[in-house]
């Protein structure tokens, strides 16, 4: 898993070169997330990635949401095994760095 700066992450998302993925649960997501983030908790991630792959939408993902590196690592591993390029934000606060 490769970490990415908030500035670089914002640039990729703004230019539609990456999808921002929030790995937290739906309740946490509803209580606040990052702009344009998709909520894909770990338990739903594989099915969503398979669906995206079947539609030819394999690209770059930027994952964040869990303060637990194990969750980010598992999400990253699954995504990379399916052909996605994956970056991770260490925390949601990184998104706002200048």
Please report, for the chain, the start and end positions of each structural domain, with discontinuous segments joined by +: 2-93
CATH homologous superfamily of domain 2-93? Rhodanese-like domain (3.40.250.10)
Dump pLDDT digits (tens) for 29-54.
999 999 899 999 988 999 999 999 99
Q: pTM of the prediction? A: 0.89
d(CA 93, CA 9): 12
User: What percent of the chain has a predicted confidence (pLDDT) above 90?
Assistant: 67
76-92 pLDDT, tens digit each: 999 999 999 999 998 88
60 burial via Cβ count (<10 Å: 0-12, 13-18, 19+): middle
Q: Which of 44, 74, 43, 49 is nearest to 61 (CA)?
A: 49
């Amino acid at each position: 898993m490769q970490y990415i700066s908030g500035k670089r992450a914002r640039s990729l998302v703004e230019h539609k070169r990456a999808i921002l993925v929030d790995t937290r649960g739906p309740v946490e997501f509803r209580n606040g997330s990052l702009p344009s983030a998709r909520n894909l908790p770990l338990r739903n991630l594989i099915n969503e990635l398979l669906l995206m792959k079947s539609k030819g939408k394999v690209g770059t993902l930027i994952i964040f949401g869990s303060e637990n590196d194990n969750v980010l690592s598992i999400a990253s591993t699954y995504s990379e095994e399916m052909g996605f390029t994956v970056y991770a934000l260490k925390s949601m606060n990184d998104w706002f760095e200048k």
